[in-house]
Structure 1
Amino acid sequence: MTTDMENKPIPVVAVFDVGKTNKKLLLFDQNYQVVWERSARFMETVDEDGDPCENLESLRLSIFDALHEVLRKHEFDIRAINFASYGASLVYVDVDGKPLTPLYNYLKEFPFAIQQQLYNTYGGETVFALETASPPLGSLNSGLQLLRLKRERPDLFRHIAHAMHLPQYLSFLVSGQLCADLTSIGCHTALWDFNKNNYHQWVEDEGLVNVFPKIFPGDTAFESTFLGKSYLVGVGLHDSSAALIPYLLFFQEPFVLISTGTWCISLNPFNETRLTMSELQQDCLFYLSYLGKPVKASRLFAGYEHEIQSKRIADFYQVTTAKFRLMEIDWGIIACLEAEDHTTELKSFEKIDLKRYDNYEIAYHSLLFHLVKAQVAATKLVLQGTAVSRIFVDGGFSKNPIYMSLMAREFLDIEVFAATMPQATALGAALLMHQHWNTSTIPANLLELKLFTSHNIS
């Protein structure tokens, strides 16, 4: 015999977590446990130049297909929806809200002349980069993508009614509300003047301000309906900034989060010291948090380098990379490696002839030894000037005992934790909707921490 309570649908918040590779829809219950998940991958398409890019139409259809699917599930009651997605990607729509161009890849080659003219007009590359906290990154500076359209395709540009970063476009699809968000604007877009805390003068001068919708706070919720069902829709968030949200909610003492994946990003929300040119040249910049506060960040392509070099080691010693996954640290090997020449260059290991090492264990320790040296140099860029007491490492490297033990040894005066927070990006987007739908208290056990010391005693 079933009770009414057993038949009652579970209240949930739905989050679309749209990465470059995986597109996920997750449902979180009132305790922020994932109760349902769907994942999809799409084939890339090409833009008018033949360059690879996201299939925007497939993504749009997938959003609606997924919503249709979960709304048919009577065991769930969707109360709110939010979005987290990669940055540096703009969607240009006409007056009817229809995209006018492909979703250009942020790695697409950018015309040097357009970039240089902009820099020359506004004080030179150094001044411009410091004011916008945006190293010269071509298409990765998403604001420049819009400038390029204005310069190269003026007829098309005239038809652009609105330009939205990808997270806000996804929100717009569901809510029908045009909006902009500071986490998307504030990630190396070259749009924001961090000194004036507003759009940079060039955005005004080029007439782009009116193309961008009104900026809404990151915890805004719009009322919307879909298939006769009412719910609240968030504005969407830049994924790296979303992953920081749970930590900001749980910890008040100064900390640094190292979010590890393909890119390893060190985020210090307690460091508002101005960027120096030296820091910019070392891939250090500012993000904006959902509260609109600067977050000093440094980036390292360490996850990618680890993947490439792990495969090189595995191929050389004729083993699988699975051999490396649970390997514990051997401090004797580390002591031997200490005597070798080493630098803080990310790619220093790739120059080493693997014949130097007797076995794959030594080679893999050496790879991690070199990667951590580079990571420490990158993280120290955001540590300066703040009394940080904890470093949290989440993502892939947090599960690597060698990496974590070496990091703990490098930061003897700071507690170094491996942080396990399943679906941190999606969870951050979900938590920002909390006040709008959830009457329960946010659970304190969403984050699992493991303290590392220099000898891996936890």
Structure 2
Amino acid sequence: MKKIKVTAVFDIGKTNKKFFLFDQHYREVHKEYIRFKEVEDEDGHPTEDLLALQQWLKDVFHRILDNSKYDVKAINFSSYGASLVHVDENGNPLIPFYNYTKSLPKETVAFFLNQYGPKETFLKATGCGGLSMLNSGLQLYWIKKTKPELYSKIKYSLHLPQYLSYVFTGIPVSEFTSIGCHTVLWDYEKKDYHKWVYKEGIDLKLPPIVSTETSMNINYNGKQLKIGVGIHDSSSALLPYLRSVKKKFLLVSTGTWSISFNPFTEKPISDAPDDINSINYMLINGKVVKASRLFLGNEYKLQTEKLNKFFGVASNYHKSVAFNHVVYNKVSVDFKHHFKWESLEDEQMPNQTNFDFDDYDHAYHQLMAELVLLQVKSVNKAIGDDKIDRLYIDGGFSDNDLYVKLLTYHFPKKKLRTTDASLGSALGAAIAISDIKLNSKFLKENYALKKHVPLIIK
């Protein structure tokens, strides 16, 4: 039996750790996943069990290499960002691996800004929305200032996607998509590490920068393999669109966070000093991506739970509600804001939620109308002055009937498409190290591309 030639991809999320095999046509031929219990750092804060993850990577890959069905030609990695793995001179990870949800001491931030502020100027230059452990560069600064003994042991600090590659190659590198993931390391105007990185000597801990498309030909356990350097998951999910869509577009990737990506921007830095939700990412070639984020999925979850309880319906009832013109007319006539958000800021929201609705469907239409207004603002913020007439929607809200229809209503002159991109970041990692060019039919064949006509309100 002839073996199937495949590209292997480890796609590491905060919760699910996934492994895929793709054939030469980017079709999924194998998938498996696992979850690990978190461990605690020295302060009792939960964090990734890095040693368990590392062992799983090797166990899975060795098993696949021995499988008589598959001929693995290449391997790459996608993962969440905002995380660094520090290794010593022997290449061993220095535990613990700090979680980006860990609080960064206020005095550390204050001391940093006293040296390198003012805050607004610094955030604009680095394309970030705030200062916290979510900015992985500050983690290194914090370690240097508060844990000098640990800092002295660090030979290299690797972004998580590059550490996954390092597990198999032993070659330390950095690449643009991870550097550009709100790390505060990069100065987007100078297109180089920010001056604070050099002044603090942080650059000496960071491996050489290579292109995200870089791969290394490695003899691994007697088999010749092409091993990629890894890619940040958000940038990876964007890659299949960039490779197959020839005209300018905006990608709205929805889930817990809804992030609007504009990879064609002429003006990447937000002018609003207090705009914490305008951030930058980087493409595989170092070009800037302007992004605007909205805590959409989180707020949706909180509000539907309230509606479920108030109306006494099943927890998944909201999934069955389809757009209804008659019900929406009740919402749109003399429109008023009813919902007080728990995780979003909006000048229009009332002091408390008004449950003055006929029934659940009425309340749900009102909820979606208000959430979509926030989404429209976020999309417009990401587009800015750029001329973009194509919108792609992927993720959890791409099959939400009200969400999609209301977006078409608010953007009647834009061509709106939805896609099923459940393989997005993993597939992007496979594409990143491939020489195969994608054609215009790729999204239709692999992403269940759907076209949507603008909604006309009767």
TM-score, with structure 1 as normaliser:
0.93
Could you say which residue in structure 1 is the equivalent of 2:455?
Answer: 455
Structure 1: which 5+ runs fail to align? 1-6
Could you say which residue in structure 1 is the equivalent of 2:23?
Answer: 29
Cα distance in 1 for partners of 2:112, 2:325 equals 52
Counterpart contact for 1:316–1:354, Cα < 8 Å: no
CA displacement at 1:316 relative to structure 2:
2.3
Determine which of 295, 301, 304 is the counterpart of 1:301. 295
Could you say which residue in structure 1 is the equivalent of 2:99?
Answer: 105
Give the match's secondary structure for 1:218.
coil
Name the amino acid aligned to 2:247: E
Could you say which residue in structure 1 is the equivalent of 2:337?
Answer: 342
Counterpart contact for 1:28–1:34, Cα < 8 Å: yes
Determine which of 304, 321, 326 is the counterpart of 1:327. 321
Determine which of 9, 25, 43 is the counterpart of 2:37. 43
Structure 2 vs 1, CA of residues 167 and 427 (structure 1 numbering), >3 Å: closer, same or farther? Answer: same
Give the match's secondary structure for 1:178.
coil
Deviation digits for residues 343-401 of structure 1, max 9, x if unmatched?
A: 99746679654642222212222221121111111111111111101000000000111
Name the amino acid aligned to 1:166: L
Deviation digits for residues 56-102 of structure 1, max 9, x if unmatched?
A: 11111111111122122211111000111001000001011111132
Q: Is 1:141 the counterpart of 2:135 in the alignment?
A: yes
Name the amino acid aligned to 1:249: R
The equivalences for 1:27-426 within 5 A come to: 27-278=21-272, 281-338=275-332, 339-342=334-337, 346=344, 353=353, 355-426=355-426
Structure 2: which 5+ runs fail to align? none
Name the amino acid aligned to 2:414: I
CA displacement at 1:453 relative to structure 2:
2.9
Deviation digits for residues 232-266 of structure 1, max 9, x if unmatched?
A: 11111110000000000011211000001111100
Aligned-residue Cα RMSD (Å) equals: 2.1
**Structure 1 residues 183-192 or 118-127, which shifts more?**
118-127
Cα distance in 1 for partners of 2:93, 2:286 equals 28
Cα distance in 1 for partners of 2:357, 2:338 equals 18
Cα distance in 2 for partners of 1:298, 1:255 equals 14
TM-score, with structure 2 as normaliser:
0.93
Counterpart contact for 2:10–2:18, Cα < 8 Å: yes
Counterpart contact for 2:268–2:280, Cα < 8 Å: no
Name the amino acid aligned to 1:56: L
Counterpart contact for 2:245–2:440, Cα < 8 Å: no
Q: Percent identity?
A: 39
Could you say which residue in structure 1 is the equivalent of 2:433?
Answer: 433
**Structure 1 residues 196-205 or 361-370, which shifts more?**
361-370
CA displacement at 1:137 relative to structure 2:
3.1
Give the match's secondary structure for 1:434.
coil
Counterpart contact for 1:279–1:285, Cα < 8 Å: no
Structure 2 vs 1, CA of residues 225 and 378 (structure 1 numbering), >3 Å: closer, same or farther? Answer: same
Counterpart contact for 2:128–2:276, Cα < 8 Å: no
Name the amino acid aligned to 1:298: S
Cα distance in 2 for partners of 1:371, 1:205 equals 44
Between the two proteins, the alignment pairs up a number of residues equal to 449
Cα distance in 1 for partners of 2:297, 2:7 equals 31
Could you say which residue in structure 2 is the equivalent of 1:4?
Answer: none
Counterpart contact for 1:82–1:234, Cα < 8 Å: yes
CA displacement at 1:313 relative to structure 2:
1.7
